């Protein structure tokens, strides 16, 4: 059994606590490795290492930083099968999705490495003669990155890649459920040539390690992906120190199906969106909003297909749905199923923990469909598991109203063959991402990603927006007139 250290200043070291915790496979209960229970002192050490590495990394030419990220992407590409399996073993998504997680990480590192040769500022004329104005993008300094467990390769790469290319040094806290993926990523970045101290990783509990990162004065920005509750806590604490904060939070994503939609496409879309990654994607489809003429047939077909989904060990290629990620997740999802039943929603399939044989060692829940009324808690709160609520609507207007009537606004989708409806929906759906005739999942790394309302605070990851989270803009005025010129003053 490998015991991993904290990764600080380019070395793997033991925590000050002298304690470790295991990371385990949610399908089998098998322990995969052990990790350090980090402390406030460990975070302090990591910040010192990041501060020490900052001056040199800031001056490292951005295209050279990009070369390191490209080398890391190449290593990941060469090891994709093995890394995909690791994601599956530690997090529980099926193997094809585990490899997809790794591919997204590779795609992003390759994409963002190009920013090393762009990172564009502006040049603009001055209001005075013989004077030029321009803007520079500069690193913020030492930044904190905190990630969830559901995309244990892709989400860390989105954050670390963007923070690194822009010249920041990092103190990184991965989710306690998936430290092995994070440690493997740190090893790959080191192998790719990342200098010691530029990336520092401290594992350990949110309330100690996460909080220490958020509250430390030397951390000038925090990039966080996770739940709304944690995001609000972090935002409030960071606000007292006027820190930059990027928040990517939860979702309650709707797939609308209009009467004129292609039934086969809508069906495949909702199956993938609702039950892919056992519903544990921030963009998972948790509400199917179907128009009344198409409703019965769609539901009938959906039930047949959902009942046919194979739940089991995600390493088995025949399996469609793996376990949820932990006992805590399992309890939360089962609690919501109970809430749905008590609210009077009709359970059409699933609804139970899967038991017997292989299932008893892991956290398996049957893919579950509720026929629900909009307004029930199961139609408004994020469940983050293989649970779909289906709601019937009469008109496009009602569909959009229902879709928008939640606190979240991450992803959204509409299936329709009417081009006018599609274009209206693009504008009307309150979400950071809208798909037309495609499921709510499937973001590509060269477009900005993030949400509106309680899904975040306006920050966007991925795409060209990614570098904004990690850079300061400096305005520069260059006066080559050879005399004192006074802007705005005419007398
Ligand atoms: P979480 O409980 O909020 O935890 C996320 C990360 O933050 C973990 O590393 C956690 O540490 C740490 N953390 C939790 N509370 C903290 C606090 N008060 N201060 C500092 N750090 C804190 O979320 P999760 O259960 O891992 O992930 C699921 C959630 O993430 C869902 O709501 C999902 O929608 C959201 N998500 C959003 C996106 C997006 O881009 N919008 C992408 C993926 C996931 P521990 O692991 O030690 O608890």
Q: How many other C-beta atoms can be found within 10 angstroms of the C-beta atom of residue 78?
A: 10
pLDDT, tens digit, 9 for 90 and up, residues 23-75? 999 999 999 999 999 999 999 999 999 999 999 999 999 999 999 999 999 99
- In short, whether 137's Cβ falls inside 6 Å of ligand 1 is no
The overall longest dimension of the chain from CA atoms, in Å, is 88
pLDDT, tens digit, 9 for 90 and up, residues 78-118? 999 999 999 999 999 999 999 999 999 999 999 999 999 99
Give catalytic status of residue 397 as yes or no: no
Rounded distance, CA 106 to CA 185, Å?
11
- In short, whether 225's Cβ falls inside 6 Å of ligand 1 is yes
Q: Which helix (H) or strand (E) holds 413?
A: strand 411-415
Which atom of ligand 1 is nearest to 177's Cα?
46
pLDDT, tens digit, 9 for 90 and up, residues 213-259? 999 999 999 999 999 999 999 999 999 999 999 999 999 999 999 99
- In short, whether 248's Cβ falls inside 6 Å of ligand 1 is yes
Strands (E), 221-367: 221-225, 244-248, 253-257, 285-291, 346-349
On the question of pLDDT at 190 being above 90, the answer is yes
Closest-CA residue to 128 (of 460, 488, 461, 414): 488
- In short, whether 223's Cβ falls inside 6 Å of ligand 1 is no
Is the distance from CB of 281 to CB of 313 less than 8 angstroms?
Answer: no
- In short, whether 172's Cβ falls inside 6 Å of ligand 1 is no
Mean pLDDT, residues 260-264 taken together: 98
Q: How confident is the model at residue 447 (pLDDT cuts 50, 70, 90)?
A: very high
- In short, whether 144's Cβ falls inside 6 Å of ligand 1 is no
pLDDT, tens digit, 9 for 90 and up, residues 348-363? 999 999 999 889 999 9
On the question of pLDDT at 398 being above 90, the answer is yes
- Which residue has the CA at smallest separation from atom 18 of ligand 1? 230
Tell the burial category of 338 from Cβ atoms under 10 Å away from its Cβ (0-12, 13-18, 19+): exposed
What's the pLDDT score for residue 357? Answer: 83
Is the distance from CB of 172 to CB of 199 less than 8 angstroms?
Answer: yes
Q: Which are the contacts of 421, defined by CB distance < 8 A and separation ≥ 6?
A: 258, 260, 396, 414
Which atom of ligand 1 is nearest to 151's Cα?
43
- Which residue has the CA at smallest separation from atom 11 of ligand 1? 206
What's the pLDDT score for residue 491? Answer: 85
Per the residue annotation, which of 90, 97, 190, 248 is the catalytic one? 248
Name the pairing type of β-strands 346-349 and 411-415.
Answer: unpaired
What's the pLDDT score for residue 1? Answer: 83
Residue in 206, 336, 465 to alter for ligand 1 test, most ligand atoms within 8 A of Cβ:
206
Give the CB-side neighbour count of residue 306, counting CA atoms within 13 A: 30
- In short, whether 384's Cβ falls inside 6 Å of ligand 1 is yes
Residue in 230, 243, 247 to alter for ligand 1 test, most ligand atoms within 8 A of Cβ:
230
Q: Which are the contacts of 267, defined by CB distance < 8 A and separation ≥ 6?
A: 298, 301, 302, 305
Q: How confident is the model at residue 401 (pLDDT cuts 50, 70, 90)?
A: very high
Q: How confident is the model at residue 297 (pLDDT cuts 50, 70, 90)?
A: very high
Strands (E), 179-243: 199-201, 221-225
Q: Which are the contacts of 107, defined by CB distance < 8 A and separation ≥ 6?
A: 444, 445
pLDDT, tens digit, 9 for 90 and up, residues 373-384? 999 999 999 999
CA distances from 103 to 152, 153, 325, 380, 448 (A): 12, 9, 21, 32, 17
Per the residue annotation, which of 282, 330, 461, 469 is the catalytic one? 282
Q: How far is CA 286 from the centre of its chain?
A: 17
Mean pLDDT, residues 423-435 taken together: 98
- In short, whether 35's Cβ falls inside 6 Å of ligand 1 is no
- Which residue has the CA at smallest separation from atom 26 of ligand 1? 148
Average pLDDT, rounded, for the chain: 98
Residue with tokens 């059409």: 348
CA distances from 317 to 219, 273, 313, 459 (A): 43, 19, 9, 37
Rounded distance, CA 276 to CA 444, Å?
17
- C-alpha 29 to ligand 1 mean position (Å): 22
What's the pLDDT score for residue 374? Answer: 98
Name the pairing type of β-strands 131-139 and 123-125.
Answer: antiparallel
On the question of pLDDT at 422 being above 90, the answer is yes
Q: How confident is the model at residue 149 (pLDDT cuts 50, 70, 90)?
A: very high
- Which residue has the CA at smallest separation from atom 46 of ligand 1? 175
Q: How many other C-beta atoms can be found within 10 angstroms of the C-beta atom of residue 87?
A: 27
- Listing from the earlier edge strand, what are the strands of the sheet with 123-125? 123-125, 131-139, 471-479
Q: How confident is the model at residue 433 (pLDDT cuts 50, 70, 90)?
A: very high
Give catalytic status of residue 133 as yes or no: no
């Amino acid at each position: 059994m490998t015991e991993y250290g904290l990764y600080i200043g380019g070395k793997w070291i033991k925590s000050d606590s002298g304690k470790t915790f295991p990371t385990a496979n949610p399908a089998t209960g098998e322990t995969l490795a052990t990790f350090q229970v980090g402390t406030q002192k460990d975070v302090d050490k990591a910040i010192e290492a990041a501060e020490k590495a900052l001056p040199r990394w800031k001056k490292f030419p951005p295209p050279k930083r990009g070369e390191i990220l490209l080398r890391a992407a190449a290593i990941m590409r060469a090891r994709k099968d093995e890394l995909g399996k690791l994601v599956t073993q530690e997090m529980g998504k099926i193997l094809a999705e585990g490899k997809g997680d790794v591919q997204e990480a590779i795609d992003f590192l390759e994409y963002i490495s190009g920013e090393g040769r762009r990172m564009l500022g502006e040049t603009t004329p001055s209001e005075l003669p013989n004077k030029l104005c321009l803007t520079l993008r500069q690193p913020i300094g030492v930044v904190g990155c905190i990630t969830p467990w559901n995309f244990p390769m892709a989400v860390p790469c989105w954050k670390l890649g963007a923070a690194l290319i822009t010249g920041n040094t990092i103190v990184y806290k991965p989710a306690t459920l998936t430290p092995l993926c994070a440690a493997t990523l740190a090893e790959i970045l080191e192998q790719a040539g990342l200098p010691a101290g530029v990336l520092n990783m401290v594992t350990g509990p949110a309330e100690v390690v996460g909080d220490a990162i958020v509250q430390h004065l030397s951390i000038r920005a925090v990039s966080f992906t996770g739940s709304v509750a944690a995001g609000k806590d972090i935002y409030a604490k960071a606000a007292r120190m006027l820190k930059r904060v990027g928040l990517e939070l939860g979702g309650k994503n709707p797939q609308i199906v209009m009467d004129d939609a292609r039934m086969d496409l809508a069906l495949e879309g909702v199956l993938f969106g609702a039950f892919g990654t056992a519903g544990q994607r921030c963009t998972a489809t948790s509400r199917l909003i179907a128009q009344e003429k198409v409703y019965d047939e769609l539901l009938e077909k959906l039930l047949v297909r959902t009942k046919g989904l194979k739940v089991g060990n995600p390493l088995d290629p025949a399996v469609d749905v793996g376990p949820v990620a932990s006992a805590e997740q399992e309890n939360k999802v089962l609690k919501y199923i109970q809430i749905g039943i008590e609210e009077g929603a009709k359970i059409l399939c699933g609804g139970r923990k899967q038991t017997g044989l292989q299932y008893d060692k892991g956290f398996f829940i049957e893919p579950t469909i509720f026929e629900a009324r909009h307004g029930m808690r199961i139609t408004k709160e994020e469940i983050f598991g293989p649970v779909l609520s289906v709601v019937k609507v009469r008109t496009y207007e009602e569909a959009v109203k229902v879709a928008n009537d939640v606190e979240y606004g991450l992803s959204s989708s509409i299936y329709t063959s009417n081009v006018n409806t599609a274009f209206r929906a693009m504008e009307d759906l309150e979400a950071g991402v809208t798909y037309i005739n495609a499921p709510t999942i499937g973001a590509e790394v060269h477009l900005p990603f993030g949400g509106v309302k309680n899904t975040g605070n306006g920050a966007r990851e991925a795409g060209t927006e990614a570098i904004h989270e990690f850079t300061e803009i400096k305005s520069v005025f260059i006066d080559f007139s050879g005399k004192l010129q006074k802007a705005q003053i005419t007398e």
